[in-house]
Amino acid sequence: MTLPRDAGTDEPRGRLWLADLLWRIGCVQFGDFSLGRTVRNSPIYINPKLIVSQPEALARVGALIDEELRLAMSMRNPHVERFDVIAGVPIGGLHIATALSLQMRTPLIYARPRAAGDESGQRPQIEG
């Protein structure tokens, strides 16, 4: 797959750098994927966990999401409200939520799965 490049640079044009990165590091996978209750028989899977090995790209992803959120909030998009905390979902989304939290300087929380056999409920379900 070859993406259009900006003149005088090796970087894909505009925001295509993210698609290019995901392709190059193997995040884009083809097959027959069923993920949880919401995705059944998808021919494409994008594995976001692989981007954690690319710190510069991870920071850029955080900046990109920050930019998109600020734009949506400035347009008063009814689906995007102001928020005081960012929640990450372990394992797949926690690193992206962390990058966004650092970019926006906004506190981060995450849900802790209950340990097998832990019926006491003594450990917090939310960390942060």
DSSP letters for 73-113:
HHTT-TT----S-EEE-TTTTHHHHHHHHHHHT--EEEEPP
CB–CB of 120/126 below 8 Å? no
Using DSSP bridges, classify how beta strands 126-127 and 86-88 pair: parallel, antiparallel or unpaired. Answer: unpaired
CATH for 48-127, options being 3.30.2350.10, 3.40.50.2020, 2.60.120.1440, 3.50.50.60 = 3.40.50.2020
Bigger pLDDT: 30 vs 92:
30
CB–CB of 94/108 below 8 Å? no
What mean pLDDT value characterizes the chain?
82
pTM for the predicted model, two decimal places: 0.72
Residue pointed to by tokens 């400035």:
74
Residue 73 makes CB contacts below 8 A (sequence gap 6+) with 80, 81, 82
- pLDDT tops 50 at residue 3: no
- Position 124 scores a pLDDT of 67
- Position 97 scores a pLDDT of 95
Q: Where are the domains of the chain?
A: 1-46, 48-127
- pLDDT tops 80 at residue 106: yes
CB–CB of 3/13 below 8 Å? yes
pLDDT digits 0-9 by tens, 26-83: 999 999 888 777 777 889 988 888 988 989 889 999 999 999 999 988 888 778 788 8
| Whole-number Å distance between alpha carbons of 69 and 72 | 5
